Amino acid sequence: MRVLLVHNRYRSSQPSGENAVVDAERALLETAGCQVGSLDVSSDEIAGWPLRKRASLPLRVVWSREGARLTAEAIEAFRPDVVHLHNTFPLLSPAAVRAARRSGAAVVQTLHNFRPVCAAATLARDGRVCESCVGRAPLPAIVHGCYRGSRLASVPAAASIALHRSLGTWTRSVDAFLAPTEFTRRKYVEAGWPEDRIFVKPNTVPDPGARPPGPGSGFVYLGRLSAEKGVRVLLDAWATAFPDGDETLDVIGSGPEEERLREAAAGRPEIRIHGVLPPGEALELLRAARALVVPSLWYEIFPRVVVEAYALGVPVIASGIGSLAEVVVDGRTGLLAPPGDAAALACALRGLSRNAALSDELGEEARIAYERLYDPSAATWRLLDYYRQALKRREREALHGAPGWSGA
């Protein structure tokens, strides 16, 4: 099978789980014997654009002729059976999806985030869940300045949602959507997307080998440092759980909240804020930890770091919200606390800190979950099966026509 992966890579200054997922899937497909081609563009390119070209970026977010052209040229050169689209924002735009459809190849789209229905891509506003635009005109996104806190910057993102909803870009151009969790799938169905074409394909990571038996020590947060990630709630919970500093917390990542968090952690030597670390170093800190902490306040799609923790046999303490409540089984692979509830989170932290046997038991179950659900071989089998279903759908439409689809 010939597969073309299409992805707009995020800025290198902001490490992206989506970039990692794309790279991992490429390796898995090649190992499975597929011929894999790539169309990669990077948001790093924008900094080198001349001023006039940069001024055109808002229009390109809505419809990028260049993105459509690059996609069409990549398809013409590689002749894939399947075009698998990942992120198209901001350089390729959904015009790339329509270009893929016109090629005659089967089109698959991974739903890494909520950008096609939410200008901020997160279904969050002011650090809280927001579904004001789900299945509706995205006017609230402009009113509240949901994209980067700016009403002006939110206009192109909202316009893209409205235009491509009216054109049926997503509902008419894609043969199979891949959602990392059932929760994500349900949210897109609520937004009016075709239920029969959205399939659940969880994230995966290569097997790093489980750590030696034992509960580990200390706790790790690994992710973006932003309000919706709940790291300030974690620090509040930490002060309650460990007022004497008798545990350690490693905070790995960067983002707009980093300086505030450093100030909040001043005078607490047991809280180590590392910034961004090389993946290998971050993984070793996670391997030694008693638990990973994911205190998010929003609907995470499926943090890849949860799978990394499971693969290592490390349990997860997470907010019981959205996809996290689905992938972290309370009392089995980790512990759940209500989002934003610092007291409940403190209780979970303290509970695992004082109960080595429970931590070890949860870690063993986490590793079992990885082997059963998130192992690369299982993920590859699912992915290839969904490709085959997309190809069959495309063949049927080629024979019988696609109602309502003009190919424009």
pLDDT tens-digit readout, 4-48: 999 999 988 766 789 989 999 999 999 999 999 999 999 999 999
The model's confidence at residue 153, banded by pLDDT at 50, 70 and 90, is: very high
Question: How far is it, in rounded angstroms, from Cα 184 to Cα 199?
Answer: 10
pLDDT of residue 402: 56
The model's confidence at residue 188, banded by pLDDT at 50, 70 and 90, is: very high
For domain 2-110+168-204+377-400, give the CATH number: 3.40.50.2000
pLDDT tens-digit readout, 347-403: 999 999 999 999 999 999 999 999 999 999 989 999 999 999 999 999 998 887 654
Q: Assign residue 342 a region: left if phi > 0, alpha if psi is -120 to 50, beta otherwise?
A: alpha
pLDDT of residue 16: 75
pLDDT of residue 12: 81
Q: Where are the chain's structural domains?
A: 2-110+168-204+377-400, 219-372
The answer to whether domain 219-372 has CATH 3.40.50.2000 is yes
51 alpha-carbon distance from chain centroid = 31
Model confidence at 160: pLDDT above 50: yes
- Mean residue pLDDT of the chain comes to 94
Amino acid identity for residue 94 in this structure: P
| Out of 73-77, 99-103, 311-315, 395-399, least confident range | 395-399
Q: Do the domains spanning 2-110+168-204+377-400 and 219-372 agree at the CATH topology level?
A: yes
pTM of the model: 0.92
pLDDT of residue 407: 35
Share of the chain above pLDDT 70, in %: 98
3-state secondary structure the chain: CEEEEEEEECCCCCCCHHHHHHHHHHHHHHHCCCEEEEEEEEHHHHHHCCHHHHHCHHHHHHCCHHHHHHHHHHHHHHCCCEEEECCCCCCCCCHHHHHHHHCCCEEEEECCCCCCCCCCCCCEECCEECCCCCCCCCHHHHHCCCCCCCHHHHHHHHHHHHHHHHHCHHHHHCCEEEECCHHHHHHHHHCCCCHHHEEECCCCCCCCCCCCCCCCCCEEEECCCCHHHCHHHHHHHHHHHCCCCCCCEEEECCCCCHHHHHHHHCCCCCEEEEECCCHHHHHHHHHCCCEEEECCCCCCCCCHHHHHHHHHCCCEEEECCCCHHHHCCECCCEEEECCCCHHHHHHHHHHHHHCHHHHHHHHHHHHHHHHHHHCHHHHHHHHHHHHHHHHHHHHHHHHHCCCCCCCC
The model's confidence at residue 214, banded by pLDDT at 50, 70 and 90, is: confident
The model's confidence at residue 307, banded by pLDDT at 50, 70 and 90, is: very high
Q: Which residues pair with 249 in a beta bridge?
A: 219, 271
pLDDT of residue 17: 82
The model's confidence at residue 139, banded by pLDDT at 50, 70 and 90, is: very high
pLDDT of residue 71: 98
pLDDT of residue 212: 82
The model's confidence at residue 81, banded by pLDDT at 50, 70 and 90, is: very high
Shortest CA distance to 268 belongs to which of 235, 223, 293, 222?
235
Model confidence at 408: pLDDT above 50: no
Structure tokens at 226: 């932003």
